[in-house]
Chain A
Amino acid sequence: MKESKLRKLKTEYLGRTIVTVFGISIIVLTLAILAFLGYKGSATFLVNRHSLASFLFSSNWDPQQAGQTGSVGSAVFIVGTLEVAALALLIATPFSLAVAIFISDLAPRVGQRFLRPIVEIFVGIPSVVYGWLGLTVLVPFVAKIFHLPFGFSVLSAGLVLAVMIFPTITSVAADALQATPLESKEASYALGSTRWQMIRRVALRYGRTGILTGIVLGLARACGEALAVAMVVGQSNSFAHGILAPTNTITAVITSSMGNTVNGSEYNNALWSLAFLLLLISLVFIIVIRVIGRQREER
């Protein structure tokens, strides 16, 4: 009896324990990220005694390095992030939907064999490479067309991000459209619809929540993208007057300044607060996607 227990330990319990530990360690890791960033991010408010309102709503960004007190107004970065992401979404969504419809209903064979792999290749191109292309091709191009001294602008960042989030939205939307039941499509055709009428009245309606999920995923990616945006947005700490003006984003300011600050200084703490804010923003997106998904299940 005792021997069989020992045997069972080797053949079952040991392995089970190991995988359970690794499984649980992922939970611990996630909580650790939340806790550490929350802790570092709170120093601006608890140690440097800035109010949450002055952090979120003031645009006076002048944090100090050594022991002194400045101001940590981050409104420029928050607005900049939202602007750039919204513009990217505005540009990418129509194109994504067009390609998604093409893949799902216009030419499914070509779409599956040819366009899907191409979407994957777009996803695979590293973000710095997009940034580098933006910096060396797009920015000079924007400067030339609009007669600007420099092409660093909300528009440049929006365009680079649009190319980056386009594959995300496309593939999720195409999945959603392809999930439309065949009976519904055929019923629509049987009632005399043209293909476009079927797509508009049946497929797009069926895929609505899936398409929305794709758009939110794209938005989340656009808000969190750091290097590509930092390379083309111009990093000027002022609100953009129009889409041809430079501005700055949360990710860009963190990436470019974190290395130059002293640990524990007001400047450093403010950057950690921005990082925590970014974490919270991406949490909001996850929750939104969950809510959308739940609605889809209920239907």
Chain B
Amino acid sequence: MSLERARMKRTKAVDRVVTVALSTIAALFVVLLAVIMAWLLYKGAKAATPDLLSFTGYGVGIQLFNTVYLVTLSLLITVPIGICAGIYLAEYAGKGPIIAVLRTCIEMLSSLPSIIVGLFGFLVLIQMTHSKWNLLAGALALAILNVPLIARTTEDALRAVDRSYYDGSIGLGATRWQTTMRILVRASVPRIITGVILAAGRGFGEAAVLIYTSGMNSAVNFNNWNPASITSPLNILRPADTLAVHIWALKTEGIMANANQIADLSAAVLVILVLVFSLSARWMGNRFDKKMSGGK
């Protein structure tokens, strides 16, 4: 009897110890993120001078512009393709062998190391077209990485729409395509937008895809807004380093005395940019879920 009791006591003690240990680890994890964030922002704030924040010379304004411009350009390509592919997957692919192959391909594309996608972009968009590093190539390569993400989000969103919507529309005589576009896609817009924001966030931070496609430097003149000129910020055939690529380039070929400060500042700006996007995607997702569950 006492043996039994001792055993029970031990089991309970083990349970308590494990609970404390696991909670400690979870807390450490939160502390780690807080420390990383605080460190990045602290170093960034310390390095921030009006000079480095500007759009000229060594200022990271150029890279910030490039980042936003390149990702926007990339999304203009990604979103239509991704949504179309998602519609195909959800509505038209059926259950045959093609959808199995397509699913495998999407799975493969989304788990390829980004350096592989970057090299493919380099080979096809730079070497085979005999061009120099350019923004458009970077945007296209980034699109390869993000299309599977958008396609999946769209497919999930379409499938989540209540089937009675579909039946109702078909019953009224609409074709499948009309139903998809006017009913299903419209109902899925918030979810798709959440996916697009996530894709943008990923694009901001991506560097391995871009170092051999859009390049590691840029020479732009922010007084020149003629898109055909090679020094114009708007030109899509000019080389353009994004914030993430800039950090890499500063590490590998940083020749300026204050390369470290510039990289610190770039890292801080980049993290803020990514954070804003991921938080807004989460906020949108939550708001959408609330709306769907009747505001509870």
Hey, which bits of chain A sit against chain B, CB under 8 A? 8, 11-12, 14-16, 18-27, 29-33, 36-37, 40, 95, 98-99, 101-103, 106-107, 111, 114-115, 117-118, 120-122, 124-129, 131-133, 135-137, 163, 166, 194-197, 217, 220, 223-227, 231, 251, 254-256, 258-259, 263, 272, 275, 278-279, 282-283, 285-286
Contact = CB atoms under 8 A, between A and B. Distances in A.
Contacts of A225: 113
A16 B114 CA distance: 31
Contact of B108 (A30, A111, A256): A30
A103 B29 CA distance: 12
B88 A23 contact: yes
Contact of A18 (B84, B102, B147, B271): B84
Contact of A226 (B92, B115, B147, B176): B115
B153 to A, nearest CB: 14
Contacts of B105: 26-27, 29-31
A22 B263 contact: no
B135 interface: no
Interface centre among A29, A32, A132, A263, by most chain B C-beta atoms within 10 angstroms, is A132
Given A22-B84, A37-B120, 17 more contacts: A16-B92, A19-B87, A20-B92, A24-B98, A24-B102, A26-B147, A33-B112, A99-B25, A120-B278, A121-B275, A124-B274, A125-B274, A132-B267, A223-B113, A255-B211, A256-B252, A279-B116
Nearest to B198: A124
Interface stretch (B54-62, B159-167, B186-194, B243-251): B243-251
B73 interface: no
A95 B25 contact: yes
Contacts of A223: 113
Contact of A224 (B32, B114, B151): B114
B45 interface: no
B221 interface: no
Given A12-B177, A22-B81, A37-B120, A255 B208 contact: yes
Contact of A128 (B112, B205, B275): B205
A278 B251 CA distance: 24
Interface stretch (B12-20, B222-230, B231-239, B287-295): B12-20
A282 B112 contact: yes
A196 B14 contact: yes
Contact of A36 (B40, B120, B175): B120
Given A95-B29, A120-B282, A259-B212, A29 B144 contact: yes
A126 B282 contact: no
A118 B88 contact: no
A259 B267 CA distance: 24
A27 B101 contact: yes
B30 interface: yes
Interface string B72-91: 00000000110011011101
A14 B176 CA distance: 12
A131 B244 CA distance: 11
A37 B119 contact: yes
A196 B18 contact: yes
Nearest to A101: B22
B29 A118 contact: yes
A106 B19 contact: yes
A275 B120 CA distance: 10
A249 to B, nearest CB: 11
A231 to B, nearest CB: 6
B195 interface: no
Contacts of B11: 194, 197
A99 B29 contact: yes
Interface string B1-45: 000000000011011001101110110011011001001100000
Contacts of B102: 23-24, 26-27
Contacts of A29: 105, 109, 144
A215 B106 CA distance: 21
A103 B77 CA distance: 38
A102 B22 contact: yes
A19 B85 contact: yes
B12 A224 contact: no
Contacts of A131: 247-248, 251
A259 B282 CA distance: 38
Contacts of A135: 251
A242 B152 CA distance: 43
